[in-house]
């Protein structure tokens, strides 16, 4: 028989640097989860990834206070900023100068990699989501 689920916790934690301080400690403490056990398991799974990469994680908490977690890929904006070597997007997206210019072919490659975490049926839908993320950052999307 399956374990009874008492809740889900969704957090964004930098790769390899989970610690019991906020927001992780209080979020897990509310559900009675062993915080240090989670931190050790998370850091062990993410130690080979780029240090500091923001990773969304969904933690499933069971009635007996045990847990499992799923690590997803970093947000679209992280990959776009890394590709274009930007510190941040435009302060006023859609108005004035674009922060940078990106080709649709570059976004297509990012979409292929990220597609497992996206709620899309095909690559075209994933590409449109990546283009929207780029535009919302004030980045001009061009053909090519």
pTM of the model: 0.84
Segments making up each domain of the chain, as ranges: 5-71, 76-142
Alpha helix (H) residue ranges in the chain? 24-30, 35-46, 76-84, 104-114, 123-136
CATH assignment of 5-71, given 3.40.640.10, 3.30.1550.10, 3.90.660.20, 3.40.190.10? 3.30.1550.10
Cis peptide before 23 (omega within 30 of 0): yes
Asked whether the domain spanning 76-142 has the same topology as the one spanning 5-71, the reply is: no
| pLDDT at residue 1 in the model | 62
The CATH superfamily assigned to 76-142 is Ribosomal protein L11/L12, C-terminal domain (1.10.10.250)
Neighbours of 128 (CB within 10 A): 13
Residues forming a β-bridge with 139: 100
| pLDDT at residue 89 in the model | 80
**What's the DSSP call for residue 56?**
E
> What pLDDT tens digit does each residue of the chain (144 aa) get?
678 999 999 999 999 889 998 889 999 999 999 999 999 999 999 999 888 899 999 999 999 999 999 999 999 999 999 999 988 887 888 787 888 889 999 999 999 988 888 888 999 999 999 999 999 898 998 987
């Amino acid at each position: 028989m399956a374990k009874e689920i008492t809740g889900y916790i969704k957090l964004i934690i930098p790769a390899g640097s989970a610690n019991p301080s906020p927001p992780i400690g209080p979020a897990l403490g509310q559900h009675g989860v062993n915080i240090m056990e989670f931190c050790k398991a998370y850091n062990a799974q993410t130690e080979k990834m780029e240090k500091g990469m923001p990773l969304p994680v969904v933690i499933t908490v069971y009635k007996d206070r045990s847990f499992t977690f799923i690590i997803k890929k970093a947000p679209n904006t992280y990959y776009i900023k890394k590709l274009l070597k930007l510190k941040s997007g435009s302060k006023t997206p859609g108005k004035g100068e674009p922060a940078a210019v990106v080709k649709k072919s570059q976004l297509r490659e990012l979409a292929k990699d990220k597609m497992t975490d996206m709620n899309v049926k095909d690559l075209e839908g994933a590409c449109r989501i990546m283009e929207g993320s780029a535009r919302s950052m004030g980045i001009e999307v061009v053909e090519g």
